[in-house]
Amino acid sequence: MAANPRDIGRGDGHGDSSGAPDVFEIRAMTLEDIDDVTRIERESYEFPWTPGIFRDCLRAGYLCTVGTSDGKICGYGLMSFGAGECHILNLCVAAEARRHGNASALLDNLINEARKIGIQTAFLEVRESNQGAQVLYEDFGFCETGVRPGYYPHRGGKEDALIFSMNII
Ligand SMILES: CC(C)(COP(=O)(O)OP(=O)(O)OC[C@H]1O[C@@H](n2cnc3c(N)ncnc32)[C@H](O)[C@@H]1OP(=O)(O)O)[C@@H](O)C(=O)NCCC(=O)NCCS
């Protein structure tokens, strides 16, 4: 399924010097966005996805979205789906745009799109050490439902992933 460009128009008060709030908009990711997306990815993760992984997600028809503020990409969310389940593959917001509800808006958009096509369950993995993201997912309604031992690369070894799931019917 191709993602439909979709604006959710949130004025959240982190505006420019005129005092006008920037509007965070969500639209489908395109191949042209991958340079900007991978720049944020490298700044955000110690073990970032390569541009090729983002290209593969687009080619596979996964739901790939970017969030923009003032036309500039400041976050993205990617989700695969099938057999009644969706899998949040990546959710990331540039450091300067965090704590304004932008990741929550990206996640909300992905889950709503999944609901529209009859998906019943959402799941994702998160690093055991990534407590900020865990709070975000718990606030959203996800519950921890399992562990994948040694799922992530980690300096000098591996790190467990916590599996979070949510019924989205
Ligand atoms: C995790 C991440 C996506 C959150 O993005 P964000 O836009 O700041 O998230 P939101 O503003 O929507 O946060 C919503 C709520 O989640 C919780 N939360 C988010 N980040 C948090 C943090 N670092 N510490 C504690 N709580 C956090 C808070 O309850 C927050 O509400 P509040 O700001 O009113 O307190 C962002 O920090 C990021 O991109 N990190 C690097 C990539 C990453 O770890 N992605 C997740 C992979 S599983």
pLDDT one digit per residue (tens) for the chain, 169 residues? 333 333 443 434 344 455 556 789 999 999 999 999 999 999 999 999 999 999 999 999 999 999 999 999 999 999 999 999 999 999 999 999 999 999 999 999 999 999 999 999 999 999 999 999 999 999 999 999 999 999 999 999 999 999 999 999 9
| Mutation test residue for ligand 1: of 65, 88, 99, the one with most atoms within 8 Å of CB | 99
Examine the fold and report which residue of 119, 135, 155 is the final residue of a domain before the chain moves on: 119
In a domain, 39, yes or no: yes
Strand boundaries in 50-155, DSSP class E: 63-69, 72-82, 85-93, 121-127, 143-154
Q: Are residues 75 and 147 in the same domain?
A: no
Residues with CB under 6 A from ligand 1: 44, 91-93, 98-104, 126, 130, 132-133, 135-136, 139
Statement to judge: residues 113 and 82 lie in one domain: yes
Helix axes 102-116, 131-140, angle to 10 degrees: 50
Pocket test for ligand 1, best of 136, 164, 166 (most atoms within 8 A of CB): 136
Distance 96 CA to ligand 1 centre (A): 12
